[in-house]
Amino acid sequence: MTNFRRNPASPFRHVDLVLAVTTVLVALFGALMVYSATRGPTPPYRIGTGVRVLVFVVIGTVLMGALALFDYRKLRDYWPFVYGACIALLVVVLLPGVGSSTKGTQGWIQIGSFFQLQPSELAKLGLIIGFAGLASQFRGDLDTGRVLMLLGLCALPMGLVMLQPDLGTTLVSVGVSFALLLVAGVRPRVLGVIAIAAVLATVLVIASGLLKQYQVDRLTSYARQDQVARTEDEAKVKYNLEESKKAIGSGGLTGKGLFQGPQTRNGYVPEQSTDFIFTAVGEQFGLLGAGALLGALGVIVWRVWRTAQLAGDDFGMLLCTGVMVMLVVQIFENVGMTMGIMPITGIPLPLVSYGGSALITTMMALGLVQSVHMRRFS
């Protein structure tokens, strides 16, 4: 407290309360939406999933606070250990008998009966930390060898995630990597070549048979919404998308009210508590409520972007840039796919969708951003 009173550069004087409060409020709202989508239509209502999300929010808030108190600059020396731990988890989850599979994707490690760890979520943050640590050592002097090192650092976790396979998470990592390469100072001509290679790789993955047929149908069906389904999997995807658009559209301007939406109350929208949680918001709170949620998420993105501009070093700037792009890509893709204007990729809505690993990882990432903000003068 003495240091706080006398030292104007004390980190505690520069806490971003807007970022912290908005993050917690959005996470609590997400818990409410998950509960509304899983409680059931009639009493006795199921509260287990909602309580579980609240526990995740508490854990995430504690970790966010702990990382805010942690001096992020120490990660410049220890980033190989963080990055290496994330890579190790991605390898472990692929081992038979260790990783558990859900709908064709082997991407979870069961921890007790309460929690399933999803290493690919942690790997997104590990990639950002690893890239920021390595690129900050180069100090903008990026020759061909160093660019290849950065590309290899990004490609390794993405390749392991694709072996699960999980194209949605990989696409988020591609967006984050491209933005970090741009901010790190890679020449536009090189970025153009990388972008073309990424597009070709995506097409190759879709056509190669690495993905399950239902995953391919989810990715491509949005472009054939007015056509007759060709397979049973595509018919299921189309049904999901139609119910999603119906739920959002039925909310109108102000929505049907909390717990009053028939699509949400009766569970007509598949995967509503996870990938399609935005439909519960649209139906129950309408255009105004959905707009308010997007506005709150926009405030979080703005504060992260602002912290990137204020960061006192390249490491902090790259760290915040990676977190910002990760959030933007996930928000845009998730909301877009629920309205039929983006492919369905299974990407969660940050802080709102059900999923302990995704929620906790996002709050940890924002805790690191808070650490950068608090130490911009020290």
pLDDT tens string 229-279: 677 767 777 888 888 999 999 999 999 999 998 988 888 888 888 889 999
Task: Tell which residue, 235, 335, 342, 198, has the closest CA to residue 279.
Answer: 335
Cα distance between residue 352 and residue 30, in whole Å: 4
43 upstream amide cis, omega within 30 of 0: no
Which three-class secondary structure state does DSSP give residue 33? helix
pLDDT, residue 334, reads 93
Task: Find the helix or strand (DSSP H, E) in which 291 lies.
Answer: helix 277-310
- Cβ burial, residue 219 (10 Å; 0-12/13-18/19+): buried
CA 103 to chain centre: 20
pLDDT, residue 54, reads 95
The DSSP code sequence of 204-243 is HHHHHT-S-HHHHHHHHGGGGTTS--SSHHHHHHHHHHHH
Q: Are strands 115-117 and 99-102 parallel, antiparallel or unpaired?
A: unpaired
Q: What average pLDDT is seen over the chain?
A: 88
Which three-class secondary structure state does DSSP give residue 110? strand
pLDDT, residue 229, reads 67
Q: Using alpha carbons only, how large is the chain's radius of gyration in Å? A: 21
Please state, as a whole number, how many other Cβ atoms lie within 10 Å of the Cβ of residue 141.
8
Ranges of each domain in the chain: 2-374
Task: Tell which residue, 151, 158, 156, has the closest CA to residue 134.
Answer: 151
340 Ramachandran zone, left/alpha/beta (phi>0; psi -120 to 50)? left
pLDDT per residue, tens digit, the chain (378 aa), is 555 556 776 777 888 999 999 999 999 999 999 999 999 888 888 998 999 999 999 999 999 999 999 999 999 889 999 999 999 999 999 988 887 777 677 888 888 777 788 999 999 999 999 999 999 888 767 888 899 999 999 999 999 998 888 888 888 999 999 999 999 888 888 888 888 888 887 777 767 666 666 667 666 666 666 777 677 767 777 888 888 999 999 999 999 999 998 988 888 888 888 889 999 999 999 999 999 999 999 999 999 999 999 998 999 999 999 999 999 999 999 999 998 888 888 789 999 999 889 999 999 999 999 999 998 877
Residue the block writes with tokens 């007759």: 228
pLDDT, residue 41, reads 86
Cα distance between residue 160 and residue 155, in whole Å: 9
Q: Do residues 92 and 98 make contact, with C-beta atoms less than 8 angstroms apart?
A: yes
pLDDT, residue 360, reads 96
Cα distance between residue 299 and residue 321, in whole Å: 15
Residue the block writes with tokens 């806490």: 15
pLDDT, residue 209, reads 65
The DSSP code sequence of 114-154 is TEEE-HHHHHHHHHHHHHHHHHHHHTT---HHHHHHHHHHH
